[in-house]
């Protein structure tokens, strides 16, 4: 632990996860049908669910009730977010790590892992490759190591923003890194980041202790749980939570995520901007028994119930899952995905298509190029979006909640999705994807109400098609 910052808790930091209470909510007979329907009705009114109400959905075992939950999740997603899907790419900067997580390819005792950290020039090369494919949003990922301190992370963020070529630019950088003290968060926030994301991995205390060595920083459950509280207190107004499904009972982890969202909302007036729910994947040099313990059918329930429980929060479905399954799951409430992803250190400049296992944290399931994913989304009637307007116009934190909870965010998201989609079609798309995208734009415009905003939107789309004007957001 030498070289790591001194542990600093936020004021009155609490461990708000009561294992016995959460486990108790999952016991007993299946709920009455009316209780399930009442819970669904509340969610469709865009009201976040309590832990007890979420548990009602988790305990609903009848196939007919399961279908009702899925249908409600589809409806709520359309109501709050429309048919848009926001796209981003992960960019791994370094895989040195002081932790020894039992499931992770970056664990410090993994002799098969090839350790490296991108130099500033190597980072620029990765960003240029991503920009050349049309990416506008990145999440930078770091191992937990003293060399990846707040100043280092902030410098990488600034380098990404400064790296531009032609129409290519990264407009929003999110962060997945170790928990910081409040001063560390302030330094990183000042570099212009969007969301700061921390996965608790598992909310179950005993399991957490089993898979995280107590001799490491990550072994401190309470310090990690308090990480996003410190971030919010330090001025990071957008945070993301997540759990790694396969470490413990998936139903408990759903309740843990909901409990975390409730705690942040009650204490700070703002819930998580995103929730991630990746499943365990194979990792080079690692043997872990949890692989495959969450079935595809249960994974569908994870997504649908999270959508109903926390209606205002973006749900991220990662490329850990294969393309066929991602296509099936998309309609259950997903609002963000990564695409065209490579998670090896330096992976975007690799000439080979196969994954390089000893430089990646885990194995990906969907390695298709961005254009292939874009084409499939358009074929399925979704509206791909690279929008970053909310971050830059202050629609974050409490302000985002004000827009998102009533569903008003669609008033901004659809126009901005259409302009960013137009940029992609003109600058990067294959002919097939461009034809599909132009058809989708025509359909979306036809559905928008007549008025000044629609006329202005049409003018902006035309400007993008005919000139070098870009980034014309509402």
Looking at the fold, whether 23 and 119 belong to one and the same domain comes out as no
Looking at the fold, whether 40 and 88 belong to one and the same domain comes out as no
The whole-model pTM stands at 0.95
Looking at the fold, whether 65 and 116 belong to one and the same domain comes out as no
Q: DSSP alpha helices (H): ranges in 345-396?
A: 370-379, 389-392
Does a structural domain hold residue 230?
A: yes
Res. 255: pLDDT tops 70: yes
State how many domains the chain has: 3
Digit-coded pLDDT (tens) for 262-302: 999 999 999 999 999 999 999 999 999 888 899 999 999 99
Half-sphere exposure of 117 (CA within 13 A, CB side): 14
Digit-coded pLDDT (tens) for 101-153: 999 999 999 999 999 999 999 999 999 999 999 999 999 999 999 999 999 99
Query: In terms of Cα–Cα distance, which of 55, 56, 17 is closest to 35?
Result: 56
- The pLDDT value recorded for residue 82 is 87
Does a structural domain hold residue 40?
A: yes
Measure the CA–CA gap between 178 and 98, rounded to whole angstroms: 11
- Contacts with 174 (C-beta within 8 Å, 6 or more apart), sequence order: 88, 137, 138, 139, 140, 193, 194, 195, 196, 197, 240
Does a structural domain hold residue 52?
A: yes
Q: Which domain CATH number covers 327?
A: 3.20.20.70
Looking at the fold, whether 389 and 420 belong to one and the same domain comes out as no
Digit-coded pLDDT (tens) for 13-70: 889 999 999 999 999 899 999 999 999 999 999 999 999 999 999 999 899 999 999 9
E strands, 216-270, are: 239-243
| Mean pLDDT (the chain, rounded) | 93
Q: CA 156 from chain center: how many Å?
A: 20
Digit-coded pLDDT (tens) for 318-346: 999 999 999 999 999 999 999 999 999 99
Running DSSP on this structure, what letter comes out for residue 358?
G
Looking at the fold, whether 109 and 67 belong to one and the same domain comes out as no
The mean per-residue pLDDT over the stretch 253-258 comes to 98
- The pLDDT value recorded for residue 390 is 74
**Boundary (domain end) residue, out of 386, 402, 418:** 402
Looking at the fold, whether 367 and 442 belong to one and the same domain comes out as no
Does a structural domain hold residue 257?
A: yes
Rounded to a whole number of angstroms, the distance between the first and last alpha carbons of the chain is 46
Looking at the fold, whether 297 and 440 belong to one and the same domain comes out as no
Does a structural domain hold residue 55?
A: yes
Instruction: Write out the residue range of the structural domain in which residue 298 sits.
Output: 81-402
Does a structural domain hold residue 239?
A: yes
Looking at the fold, whether 306 and 425 belong to one and the same domain comes out as no
The mean per-residue pLDDT over the stretch 216-220 comes to 92
Does a structural domain hold residue 5?
A: no
- Per DSSP bridges, beta strands 84-94 and 274-276 are unpaired
Lookup: tokens for 12: 């009155």
Residue 1 confidence class, pLDDT cut points 50, 70, 90: very low
Query: In terms of Cα–Cα distance, which of 249, 296, 278 is closest to 55?
Result: 249
Looking at the fold, whether 190 and 116 belong to one and the same domain comes out as yes
**Boundary (domain end) residue, out of 402, 424, 439:** 402
Looking at the fold, whether 287 and 300 belong to one and the same domain comes out as yes
Lowest mean pLDDT among 151-155, 229-233, 411-415: 411-415
- Phi, psi (degrees; rounded to nearest 5) at 274: -140, 155
- The pLDDT value recorded for residue 397 is 57
Looking at the fold, whether 316 and 461 belong to one and the same domain comes out as no
- Contacts with 257 (C-beta within 8 Å, 6 or more apart), sequence order: 203, 241, 242, 243, 275, 277, 306, 310
- The pLDDT value recorded for residue 8 is 65
Looking at the fold, whether 237 and 311 belong to one and the same domain comes out as yes
Res. 3: pLDDT tops 50: no
- The pLDDT value recorded for residue 290 is 85
**Boundary (domain end) residue, out of 402, 437, 458:** 402
Does a structural domain hold residue 250?
A: yes
């Amino acid at each position: 632990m030498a070289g790591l910052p001194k542990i600093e808790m936020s004021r009155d930091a609490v461990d708000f996860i009561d294992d016995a209470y959460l486990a108790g909510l999952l016991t007993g007979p299946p709920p009455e049908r009316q209780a399930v329907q009442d819970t669904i009705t509340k969610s469709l009114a865009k009201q976040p669910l309590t832990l007890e109400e979420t548990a009602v959905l988790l305990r609903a075992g009848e196939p007919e009730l399961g279908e009702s939950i899925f249908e409600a999740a589809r409806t709520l997603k359309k109501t709050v977010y429309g048919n848009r899907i926001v796209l981003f790419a992960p960019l791994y900067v370094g895989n040195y790590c002081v932790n020894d997580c039992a499931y992770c390819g970056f664990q410090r005792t993994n002799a098969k892992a090839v350790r490296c950290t991108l130099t500033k020039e190597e980072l620029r090369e990765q960003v240029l490759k991503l920009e050349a494919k049309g990416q506008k949003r990145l999440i930078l990922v770091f191992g937990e190591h003293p060399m990846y301190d707040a100043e280092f992370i902030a410098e990488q963020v600034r380098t990404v923003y400064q790296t531009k070529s032609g129409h290519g630019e990264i407009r929003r950088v999110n962060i997945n890194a170790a928990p910081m003290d409040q001063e560390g968060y302030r330094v990183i926030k000042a570099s212009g980041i969007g969301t700061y994301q921390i996965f608790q991995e598992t909310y179950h205390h005993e399991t957490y202790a089993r898979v995280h060595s107590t001799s490491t920083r990550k072994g401190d459950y309470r310090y990690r749980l308090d990480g996003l509280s410190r971030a919010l207190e330090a001025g990071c107004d957008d945070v993301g939570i997540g759990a790694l499904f396969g470490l413990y009972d998936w139903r408990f982890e759903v309740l843990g995520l909901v409990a975390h969202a409730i705690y942040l909302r009650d204490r700070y007036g703002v819930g998580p901007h995103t929730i991630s729910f990746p499943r365990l994947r194979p990792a080079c040099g690692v043997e872990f028994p949890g692989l495959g313990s969450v079935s595809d059918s249960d994974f569908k329930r994870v997504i649908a119930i999270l959508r109903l429980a926390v209606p205002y929060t973006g749900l991220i479905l990662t490329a850990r899952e294969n393309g066929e399954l991602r296509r099936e799951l998309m309609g259950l409430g997903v609002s963000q995905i990564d695409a065209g992803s490579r998670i090896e250190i330096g992976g975007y400049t690799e000439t080979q298509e196969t994954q390089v296992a000893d430089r990646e944290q885990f194995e990906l399931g969907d390695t298709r190029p961005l254009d292939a994913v874009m084409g499939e989304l358009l074929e399925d009637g979704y509206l791909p979006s690279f929008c970053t307007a909310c971050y830059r116009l202050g629609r974050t934190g409490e302000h985002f909640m004000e827009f998102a909870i009533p569903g008003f965010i669609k008033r901004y998201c659809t126009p901005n999705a259409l302009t960013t989609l137009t940029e992609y079609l003109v600058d990067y798309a294959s002919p097939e994807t461009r034809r599909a995208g132009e058809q989708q734009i025509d359909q979306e415009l036809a559905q928008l109400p007549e008025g000044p905003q629609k006329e202005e939107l049409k003018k902006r789309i035309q400007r993008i098609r005919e000139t070098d004007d870009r980034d014309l957001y509402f």
